Structure 1
Amino acid sequence: MRLHYEIGGSGPRVLFFNGSGATLEGSAVIIKGLREFSSVLAHDQRGLGKTGVIDGPFTMQQYAQDSAELLDHVGWKSCIIVGISFGGMVAQEFAVTHPERVEKLVLLCTAAGGVAGASYPLHEDVHLDPAARADKQIPIFDTRFTPDHLAKDAFAAALAKMLRDREHVPKSDEVRRGEVLQLEARRHHDVAGRLGRITCPTLVMAGKYDGIAPVANCQAIADRIPNSELRIYDGGHLFIAQDPAAVADIGRFVVEPNF
Structure 2
Amino acid sequence: MAYRCPTCSPDIMQARETIILVPGLLCDDAVWEHQNAVLSRHYDVIVPQLTRQDSITAMAEYILEVAPERFSIAGHSMGARVALEVWRHAPARVARLALLDTGVHSASADELPKRQALLDISAGKGMTALADVWLPPMVAAGRLKIDIALRERLYAMVERMTPEIHRQQIAALLGRPDARPLLAQISCPVLIGVGSLDQWSPPEQHGVMAADIKHAHYDVFDDSGHMAPMEAPEAVTSALLKWMRDDRGLCK
Q: Same fold (TM over 0.5)?
A: yes
Per the alignment, residue 214 of structure 2 pairs with 226
The answer as to 2:168 corresponding to 1:181 is yes
Sequence identity (%): 20
**Which runs of structure 2 are paired with 1:55-94 in the superposition (5 Å)?**
58-71=54-67, 76-94=68-86
Q: Quickly say closer, same or farther: Cα 1:239–1:181, change in 2 above 3 A.
A: same
Per the alignment, residue 42 of structure 1 pairs with 47
Match of 2:101 among 80, 84, 109: 109
Task: Verify the 8 A CA contact 1:123 1:180 in the aligned structure 2.
Answer: no
Q: CA deviation at 1:164?
A: 4.3
Q: Quickly say closer, same or farther: Cα 1:131–1:41, change in 2 above 3 A.
A: closer
Q: CA deviation at 1:34?
A: 2.7
Per the alignment, residue 205 of structure 1 pairs with 193
Q: TM-score, normalised by structure 1?
A: 0.74
- The alignment of Structure 1 onto Structure 2 pairs a total of residues equal to 225
Q: TM-score, normalised by structure 2?
A: 0.76
Give the match's secondary structure for 1:200. Answer: coil
Task: Verify the 8 A CA contact 2:192 2:210 in the aligned structure 1.
Answer: yes
- CA distance, structure 2, for counterparts of residue 127 and residue 245 of structure 1: 35
Per the alignment, residue 7 of structure 1 pairs with none
The answer as to 2:151 corresponding to 1:160 is yes
Stretches of structure 1 lacking an aligned partner (at least 5 in a row): 1-9
Q: CA deviation at 1:66?
A: 1.4
Q: Quickly say closer, same or farther: Cα 1:42–1:163, change in 2 above 3 A.
A: closer
- CA distance, structure 1, for counterparts of residue 55 and residue 69 of structure 2: 24
The answer as to 2:122 corresponding to 1:125 is no
- CA distance, structure 2, for counterparts of residue 217 and residue 127 of structure 1: 29
Q: CA deviation at 1:228?
A: 0.8
Which deviates the most, 188-197 or 129-138? 129-138
Q: Deviations over 1:208-250 (max 9, x none)?
A: 1112222123223212222312110011122223332221121
Letter paired with 1:101 = R
Q: CA deviation at 1:22?
A: 2.6
Q: CA deviation at 1:165?
A: 5.2
- CA distance, structure 1, for counterparts of residue 90 and residue 111 of structure 2: 23
Q: Quickly say closer, same or farther: Cα 1:42–1:218, change in 2 above 3 A.
A: same
Per the alignment, residue 144 of structure 1 pairs with 141
Task: Verify the 8 A CA contact 1:206 1:233 in the aligned structure 2.
Answer: yes
Q: Deviations over 1:187-223 (max 9, x none)?
A: 2222122222211110011001112222123223212
Letter paired with 1:220 = V
Match of 1:246 among 233, 236, 247: 236
Stretches of structure 2 lacking an aligned partner (at least 5 in a row): 1-14
Per the alignment, residue 5 of structure 1 pairs with none
Give the match's secondary structure for 2:200. Answer: coil
Q: Deviations over 1:91-114 (max 9, x none)?
A: 011112221111111111111123
